[in-house]
Amino acid sequence: NAGVTQTPKFQVLKTGQSMTLQCAQDMNHNSMYWYRQDPGMGLRLIYYSASEGTTDKGEVPNGYNVSRLNKREFSLRLESAAPSQTSVYFCASSEVLSGINQPQHFGDGTRLSIL
């Protein structure tokens, strides 16, 4: 009954440090997503992966890289963290059934602060 699992839940970094946010889903979904949530701005798509081995940029990809390691896992990497990347990061997954977009399932988020 895990759904989408994100690690870590909290992290504090110094400017210039790097880190990788991990995401795994156990629902056998093809599509996975990374969003950031900032006050008053809703959720904005950073990157997404429509299937294993493919990734595409979303609305705010600068400063981030992603890896779709396999069907279950989709990681987000900050190579050189900046204070502007302080945010809450959400991973999600979804599928298409009978040609209809199914709802995305979300993890509990990673709260990242960059000093």
Partner 1 sequence: AQSVTQLGSHVSVSEGALVLLRCNYSSSVPPYLFWYVQYPNQGLQLLLKYTSAATLVKGINGFEAEFKKSETSFHLTKPSAHMSDAAEYFCAVSGFGNEKLTFGTGTRLTIIP
Which positions touch partner 1 (CB under 8 A)? 4, 31, 33, 40-45, 48, 50, 58, 90, 92, 94, 96, 100-101, 103-109
Interatomic CA distance for residues 85 and 82, integer angstroms: 6
CB nearer partner 1, residue 40 or residue 62: 40
Q: How far is the CB of 73 from partner 1 (least distance, A)?
A: 18
d(CA 39, CA 14): 22
Q: Which of 17, 88 has the CB closer to partner 1?
A: 88
Closest distance of CB 50 from partner 1, Å:
7
* Among candidate residues 74, 72, 83, the one with its CA nearest the CA of residue 34: 74
CB-nearer residue toward partner 1: 18 or 27: 27
83 vs 15: CA distance, rounded Å = 7
Between CA 103 and CA 4 the distance in angstroms is: 13
